[in-house]
């Protein structure tokens, strides 16, 4: 670890307006002058913006660029795969088959069994009529879950490359992903039950006397709404904590080499051990990258299932 960053144990998992390369080289990212900066706007509203400084100019950061890379990668890979499958030809080659296997697994082992055929109150015929191309009724939600899974997976995997990083190790990124998931859940629930019906359906039906129900229902509704927001907040915290913790441990293990550099013979014991630990933990991090993308997609699907099958 560089001496300048010794006081900051989390330096290598933070977002910066530059890419940090070997030999102290910083590849600084440009500022987009024609867009207003959210942070500067907030500072302006709070009255903390330095005098004479404009609110215009969004500073690009490393994680912004990496998120764009992940999105473009997913688009290019699955655009090509969709063209191949859409033409009636099977996907060919290990590269295409790898991504196809993941997509089919998420559809067949996560979305379809979790959401099921459904009884949304419109009858089975209406359910199957809403299914894309006459397929499984849950397939209408598959593109949304696919998008989240593969985007998060790529963001996770980018951290395995030297000098890059995992955007999902930043709470603002995972928070935005959780908001997208929550928006999708609200939209799906509103399509099934109506806007008012969706919020009302958060409280299960209660066979109680009218007076008792009039007292309990508002309290339960507040609790259920709070729980709804908390569940999606936990999505953000879980993904962020796991990715940040993994990369932090990798940095600490590698840092043992620098710490023992002037310890004589101990260095020749610590250095190989740290390298071995780095490789072992790196393989574990690859597994975690897939696991956390799966967990996020699975829980989002569970939340979708709960609102498209109201109580």
CA–CA separation, 148 and 182 (whole Å) = 12
pLDDT at 279 (0 to 100): 83
Q: How confident is the model at residue 69 (pLDDT cuts 50, 70, 90)?
A: very high
Nearest-angstrom CA–CA distance, 1 and 95: 36
Q: How much is the average pLDDT of 152-159?
A: 92
Q: For 85-127, how does the pLDDT look when each residue is reduced to its tens digit (9 = 90+)? A: 877 777 788 898 999 999 999 999 999 999 987 644 444 444 4
**Prediction pTM value:** 0.84
What is the CB-side half-sphere exposure of residue 56 using CA atoms within 13 A? 4
The reported pLDDT for the residue numbered 294 is: 96
Domain extents in the chain: 88-308
- In this structure, the number of other CB atoms found within 10 A of the CB of residue 209 comes to 9
Predicted local distance difference test score (pLDDT) of residue 118: 61
CA distance 113 to 298: 11
What does the alpha-carbon distance between residue 156 and residue 203 come to, in Å, rounded to a whole number?
Answer: 36
Residue 134 has pLDDT above 90, yes or no: no
């Amino acid at each position: 670890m560089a001496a300048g960053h010794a006081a900051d144990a989390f330096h290598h998992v933070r977002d910066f307006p530059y890419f940090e390369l070997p030999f102290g080289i910083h590849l600084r990212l440009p500022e987009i002058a024609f867009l207003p900066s959210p942070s500067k706007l907030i500072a302006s509203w709070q009255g903390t913006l330095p005098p004479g400084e404009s609110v215009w100019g969004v500073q690009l950061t490393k994680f912004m660029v990496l998120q764009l890379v992940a999105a473009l990668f997913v688009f290019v890979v699955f655009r090509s795969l969709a063209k191949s499958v859409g033409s009636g030809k099977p996907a060919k080659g290990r590269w295409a088959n790898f991504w196809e296997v993941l997509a089919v697994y998420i559809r067949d082992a996560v979305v379809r069994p979790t959401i099921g055929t459904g009884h949304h109150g419109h009858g089975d015929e209406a359910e199957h009529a809403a299914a894309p191309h006459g397929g499984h009724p849950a397939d209408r939600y598959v593109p949304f879950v696919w998008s989240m899974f593969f985007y998060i997976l790529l963001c996770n995997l980018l951290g395995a490359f030297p000098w890059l990083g995992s955007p999902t190790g930043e709470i603002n990124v995972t928070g935005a992903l959780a908001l997208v998931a929550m928006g999708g859940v609200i939209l799906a629930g509103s399509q099934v039950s109506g806007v008012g019906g969706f919020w009302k359906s958060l409280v299960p039906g209660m066979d109680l006397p009218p007076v008792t129900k009039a007292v309990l229902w508002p309290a339960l509704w507040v609790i259920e709404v709070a729980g709804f927001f908390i569940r999606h907040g936990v999505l953000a915290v879980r993904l962020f904590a796991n990715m940040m913790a993994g990369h932090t441990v990798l940095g600490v293990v590698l840092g043992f080499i620098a710490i023992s550099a002037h310890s004589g013979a101990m260095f020749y014991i610590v250095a190989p051990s740290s390298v071995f630990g780095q490789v072992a933990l790196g393989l574990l991090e690859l597994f975690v990258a897939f696991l956390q993308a799966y967990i996020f997609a699975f829980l989002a699907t569970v939340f979708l299932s709960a609102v498209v099958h109201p109580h």
